[in-house]
Every structure is written in structure tokens, then in C-alpha cells.
Structure 1
Amino acid sequence: MRHARAVTDEPQDPTAPTVGVGPHPLPWPDDERLDPELLRDGDRRNVVDRYRYWRLDAIVAALDRSRSRLHVAIQNWEHDFNIGSMVRTANAFNVAAVHIVGRRRWNRRGAMVTDRYLHVHHHEDEAALLAHLAEAGVTPVGVDNLPGSVPLETTELPADCCLIFGSEGPGLTDAMVAGCERLVAITQTGSTRSMNAGAAAAIAMYHWSLQHR
């Protein structure tokens, strides 16, 4: 049986602290989930300890057995650098899927290759995403501090929902707002008009997890 080649993260800063584990001592465990190259060379990937030395496809298969019912969608009109951070957070919460709406190419740097452990879908526009969610029985919920938004912290989110985030700056488009079942906003008490999109996504995903995980 031919195994998938080991996947490593982006090149590390040589002055940064060493992460991960080195080569596995002999004899190697007899486990088909393990990658011979990682056993030989060490595993420096950004994964939790239980998945050390595992093949990429084996990790994805294990995550698939415990995916949450939450979906996350991100509008990508301006090659927003926050998208990578949002995808990395989606991986941390093991969401069902991430949906990129708009430009197919997105800034992956902040994702730290965590997108490889997720199911990432691309949709040309708002209508395509909304049709996909409707077919899957997933409720679209927009996250933005717009008129008509209700406080996130007092809202019971649907178990099967897709939290939808706009690009940094312009936020959700009018077409996306029109297609959402509801809008929620994170209550703020400072002087800034809005918070970083990546931070807002993390708060919203955590709020859903408190209710449904």
C-alpha cells in the first residue's frame, strides 16, 4: 500500500524554538497510520501530540469522525490576510467545512497549512454559497455589526449553521446580508468601530462551541 508523502509546514525560522519531535527510535511501531518518512526524519508539523508521525490522510480520516456541525464561510474579495488566521481557527474547532466565497486564491500564510486537514470549498458568489447551504440544510448566519444585528452573546445559534464573515474593512456584502437567516454582532464597549475579522471569527466559533460541542 502506497502512503501519502509526509506534509510539513512552511520553513521554520532557524532561530525559533524547536517544535515537534525528532526521529522515532527503533523499532518503529507497526501502525499503518504512521508515515515512514516522519518516523525517520521527525515530525515538526503543527499538530497535537496524538497525531505525531501520522500520515496526512490518516489525520483527516480521524478528524472526519468527530467533525462539528458548524460551517464557516469567508468572503474573499480583497485577498484578505485575515483569511489564513480564520481558517486556522476553524481547524482548531474542527468545523465541518470552510467555504471561500469570491476569489479562488486566498492568502494561506496565516493558516500554517491547517487547511490541509479541513474540507475547504470554493463558491463563485453569494448565490452559489447560499444554494449549497440550503441543499445541505445549514442555516446561514452573518457576523457583522450592521443595523439589525442582534448580540451574539445572547443568541442561541442553530446547531447546523454557517457563520459567515465579510472581508476586513467592507464586511459582508449586501447580497450576503440579504441571504442570511439572521445577523449577529459581538458587543463592543471601546472606541473602535470594529474588531479584527480574525478575532471576531474566533469569538463566534467559540460561542457556537459553548452551545453545541
Structure 2
Amino acid sequence: MVDDEEFRSVPVGVGPWPGPWPEDSRYDPELLGQGDRRNVLDEFRYWTVEAIVAELDTRRHAFHVAIENWAHDLNIGSVVRTANAFNAAGVHIVGRRRWNRRGAMVTDRYLHVHHHEDANALTRWAEAEGLTVIGIDNVPGSVPIETATLPRDCVLVFGQEGPGLSQATLDACSQVLSITQFGSTRSINAGAAAAVAMHAWVRQHAVIPGAAP
């Protein structure tokens, strides 16, 4: 068994590039020389951030993620990290421009992050882009996400931990979906809720590598 100290000492990623360096411009000379310790897929090892973003742009999914930021919620970083994992088309911060990036673990570098002053600004942008605004919140009248058909081109909007979506945002949503829960608490962590909702979209619309046709 590996103890905690030994586990923490195991290097992450890969060391310096062995042998002659590739001439492909996507590769970062500094990473080739020093090694790539980032938490990225193997296919992106030694690539520059710009090259990774450019490649991800060719694979982006059709959904966007919007997060209300009225109280500098710590969960925003977790939502952003999950949006990167599911390769969302973009992340939209609604309200305060500055947000807590700690939970994002620098994954925001690989996403297109936008800011909107309020719910009306987000709605105007979504309408111009032909996107349906879908709220995710456990409120009266919401539809269980497990039974809903999500639009392919949409914006999934999440509120603050605790109070949930603001009334202005709820009014702007074409539909509000809830995540069915079976325990004693009224809500789940906003980061967890975002992961459930994004995965629901992926199950309905994404091409799953290796899945049977």
C-alpha cells in the first residue's frame, strides 16, 4: 500500500520530451524541455494553452452554462471546472464580474468565459444567438430533469448556493428543471447540480466515443 506521503511525492504528468523535439507549432518549447505537469488529457501533453483551446473549439458542445454571481459564491469554480470537463460552448457569469476561481483549478483557461450585467443582458444575448434559456432549480412548478427533453442549443442557468436562481432569472427562463432528490435536504451543492444537469444534456445530445451506434 502507498502511504499518503509517498502518494503526494509521485510526480503528476510527464517529464521532459525524450528524443528529438517535434516541429509542430502546437507544442510549447518550455513544456518540452521541463515536462508537462498539467491536468490535461494525454493527447494534449506539451501543447500550448492556445493550441488546446483551438482544438477544443472544434469539438465544443452546443450548450452554454450561466452562473449567477451575486455573492461571490465559492461553487462557481466547481461549475466552471465541470463545464470544461463536458466541453461547454461557453461559460457566462451573471452579476458581479469578479468570481472565485479557486475551484476552477485553472480550467477557465480552456473555456470561453463571458460576463453579463444581469438576467436581462443574458437573455438578450441568448435570443440573439438562438439559444433557449433553461433554469436549473428546485422551485414550485419545475419539471424533473430526469423526465425532460433538453434543447440541443441552450443555456443552462444556475443560481447561488442556498437562495437558488433570482426571480429575474426565473422569469427569463423558457423552462425551469429540477433535480429529483430523495433525502432530507431541500437542495444539493450548486457544483453537483451543474454536473448532473450537464451530464443530462450529454446523455441526450453528445456523441459518446466507443458507444454502440
- Report the TM range for the smaller structure's normalisation: over 0.9
- Conservation of the 8 A alpha-carbon contact between 1:84 and 1:111: yes
Q: Structure 1, residues 127-165: CA drift from partner, whole Å, max 9, x if none?
A: 111100000000000000001100000000000011100
Residues of 2 paired with 1:16 and 1:129: CA distance? 45
Letter in 1 for 2:152: A
Identify the match of residue 171 of structure 1 among 161, 164, 171: 164
Q: Distance in 1 between matches of 2:38 and 2:189?
A: 27
d(CA) in 1 for partners of 2:120 and 2:9? 44
Q: Give the counterpart of 1:210 among 196, 203, 206.
A: 203
- The aligned counterpart of 1:180 is 173
Residue 117 of structure 2 is matched in structure 1 by: 124
Distance 2:16 2:27 in 1: 12
Q: What pairs up with 1:70-109 in 2 under 5 angstroms?
A: 70-109=63-102
- Secondary structure at the aligned position of 1:19 is classed as coil
Match in the other structure for 2:149: 156
Q: Count matched residues.
A: 200
**Is 2:24 the partner of 1:31?**
yes
State the 1:25 CA deviation: 1.4
TM-score normalised according to structure 1 size: 0.92
Provide TM-score, normalisation by structure 2. Answer: 0.92
2:55 matches 1:54? no
Percent identity (aligned) = 65
Aligned to 2:134, what secondary structure does the other structure show?
Answer: strand
Cα RMSD over matched residues?
A: 1.0
Measured after TM superposition, the shift of residue 17 of structure 1 is 3.5
How far apart are the structure 1 equivalents of 2:124 and 2:11?
A: 45
